[in-house]
Amino acid sequence: MLVLFSLDMKRLFIILLGCLCLIPWTAFSQQDKQPDWKKLHYLSEEEMLSGNRSSIYQETDPPTGDYVRFPAEFEPMQAVTIRYPLGIPTSLVKQLSERTKVYCIVSSSQQSSARNTFQNAGCNMSNITYYNMSTDSYWVRDYGPWYIFNDLEPAIVDNAYNRPRQNDNMVPVRMGQQLGLTVYGMNLQHTGGNMMEDGRGVGVSDELILNENNHDEDNVRTKMRNYLGIDPYHITIDPQGDYIAHVDCWGKFLAPDKILIAKLPTTNSQYDEYEQVAEFFANTNCCWGYPYKVYRVEEPGGYTVAPYTNSLIVNKTVFVPMGSNSTYNNKALQVYQNALPGYEIIGVTGASNTPWENTDALHCRTRGVMDFDMLFVDHRNVVFGEQPMQESIAITSKFIAYSGESLKQDSLLVYYRIDNGAWQTASMTATGNANEYVGYITGHHYGASVDYYVFGADESNHRYTQPVFGADEPHHFTIEEGPATLEQTYTFNTGWTWWSTNLDISKADLEAALGTHGIQVSSHHDGFDMLNTANGNWMGNLSGFCVEKAYKIRVAESCTITLNGIPVDPTEHPITLKNGWNWIGVPVDHSLTLTEAFSNLSPEDGDEIKSQHDGFSQYSATLQRWIGTLQTLEPGKGYLYRSNASEDKVFLYINNID
């Protein structure tokens, strides 16, 4: 794979970021805001006093793919990058090696020492790979590669590291060479600790990104969009008001619709700033179209160590740095567990020689490497809130197999349940758009509560679910409440009854109500059902009921049944009359005269309307009225209408439901 620029090129092109310029001390006008020389995550005393902010860097053209994507930390990972000498305890390396690959950046002279350290700690040595290169610090989160997908190809984006540490600054290019990945140079001064993304185009940094790039917001947003596919890009205040100004010190994406934000006591001087950021996200829509679910993790403030947002997510395991107060530690672990059902939450104590700090913990000292062959389920148009009643709900999703293998067509599914019932599946089929499939949720009703999630698998045996929590916390929506149901009674005499209804009911409801009294239910053209007296089950080819039609029902003995259903609006149920005899219903809840019933029909001369027991009438075009004993249509009864028109006619009964 092509590497867009080499080490020699990077040495050749040296961008001096404030070279030989003194650090603007006015930025630290307040004594309590001056950097602590001991906080090496920022700068050492020597680095501070030198004033040398030069950086080796070379810009390239941005990726040219149609779909550039910056995966999130909570997506599938193939490895975690660390640096040796370590900034994390060896016990954490052991835990990581038991769950994924570990990429250890180490100089060749120290590799033997690293190997011995890991062996003595009981690490899974087969999962540890060494990458020989020099580094200046263990904050690999800040200077390490930013892995992206350029269409289906994994690649690296390198920015101008905002520290005068040239060995660290070279790591993305060197990793690109050793992994065989294209490296794109994005000319922004940036740092990994001040960047979080949701994997679907949304990114977050605090205002440090503007402060370090000449406050040219248009340029910042353009670069983030072109190189990383980030848009929208949320640039927030720095609620900490501290020297580091890194987003991972106060917030963290847990899922595309979930964000964790620290919470300070009301007495803390930064309380209002933290609340401002939390309120911003609580009122900002996530990529799925509704406001973020904001989770708060309490921190005591002051000098008590509580770096809880500085955690690492690796394939449904979260490693949370523990602070110095056990009560707050336990609360933090519970917040993570509540927010991430089905995840394993592990508290990690810092090493004695490299302890955690509030502005520097295990997230700062590690960096995940996305699974280059992952299957990505991108169901963007999430169905949520209250939905109108409809026959089916379409669930559309893209399935992107970065492995290049084919999708398993029988494993592209929508799992759904209605009113907390049993889970059902709907197969998804191609829509014709690239990588896009659709499945349908059916069987719901007015007022239904519906849960669902999307699942996919490919031939490389990669699988993925959206949401990743699956049945533990699926997507959710409700169906609007419908009109109130009505209860109606119908009487059937022994033998045949001509029947219709103005209620939306199923034939199963009617046949169940008829029970052993029923013998046969017949339609004019849609088949019939009969009761099997041997087993008590109805059988036949009747397709169902519709309120526009009449049916003939035969019972063994007189009976009265009760049915519940939603009354229909007759203006939404046109009745079609074909030449000859038609069995028509009366989908209203009150009697109508023939003149009222057929006021918008324009009957033909000689048309007839016949009832079962109330006679019949014939239309006289000369007199423009109906002549005969039948003058009124009644709800619940069925009628036969003979049309003399040569072509089909359509009419509606007048008057809505009273």
Residues 320-333: tens digit of each pLDDT: 999 999 999 999 99
User: pLDDT value at position 31?
Assistant: 32
User: pLDDT value at position 44?
Assistant: 52
311 shares its domain with 413 = no
**Total count of domains within the chain:** 3
2 within domain boundaries: no
515 shares its domain with 590 = yes
pTM summary value: 0.75
β-pairing verdict for 182-190 and 153-161: parallel
427 within domain boundaries: yes
Interval 356-368 mean pLDDT: 96
User: pLDDT value at position 482?
Assistant: 82
Query: Which position among 287, 364, 546, 559 bears the catalytic label?
Result: 364
Residue 40 clears pLDDT 70, i.e. is over it: no
User: pLDDT value at position 484?
Assistant: 78
More confident residue, 311 or 11: 311
Residue 30 clears pLDDT 90, i.e. is over it: no
User: pLDDT value at position 101?
Assistant: 98
DSSP string for residues in 12-57: HSEEESSTTPPP-GGGG-SGGGSPPTT-TTT--HHHHHH---EEE-
Summarised one tens digit per residue, pLDDT across range 579-591 is 999 999 999 989 9
504 shares its domain with 473 = no
Query: Which is nearest to 261 in space by CA: 200, 212, 206, 224?
Result: 206
471 shares its domain with 490 = no
21 among known catalytic residues: no
Final residue in a domain of this structure, among 479, 503, 523: 479
357 shares its domain with 383 = no
48 band by pLDDT with thresholds 50, 70 and 90? very low
141 shares its domain with 180 = yes
655 band by pLDDT with thresholds 50, 70 and 90? low
22 within domain boundaries: yes
275 shares its domain with 317 = yes
73 band by pLDDT with thresholds 50, 70 and 90? very high
Containing structural domain, residue 533: 483-658
258 within domain boundaries: yes
157 within domain boundaries: yes
316 shares its domain with 411 = no
360 shares its domain with 494 = no
186 within domain boundaries: yes
474 shares its domain with 493 = no
243 band by pLDDT with thresholds 50, 70 and 90? confident
136 shares its domain with 273 = yes
Residue 35 clears pLDDT 60, i.e. is over it: no
More confident residue, 56 or 418: 418
Final residue in a domain of this structure, among 332, 353, 370: 370
Q: Kindly report the CATH number assigned to the domain that includes residue 195.
A: 3.75.10.10
Query: Which is nearest to 233 in space by CA: 246, 244, 222?
Result: 222
Summarised one tens digit per residue, pLDDT across range 247-265 is 999 999 999 999 999 999 9
597 shares its domain with 637 = yes
CB 56 within 8 A of CB 143: no
**H or E, element range at 460:** none
Residue 46 clears pLDDT 80, i.e. is over it: no
More confident residue, 258 or 2: 258
Q: Kindly report the CATH number assigned to the domain that includes residue 445.
A: 2.60.40.10
User: pLDDT value at position 259?
Assistant: 98
At residue 157, φ and ψ (nearest 5 deg) are -110, 130
- Mean per-residue pLDDT over the chain, rounded: 91
Final residue in a domain of this structure, among 461, 479, 497: 479
Amino acid symbol at 258: K
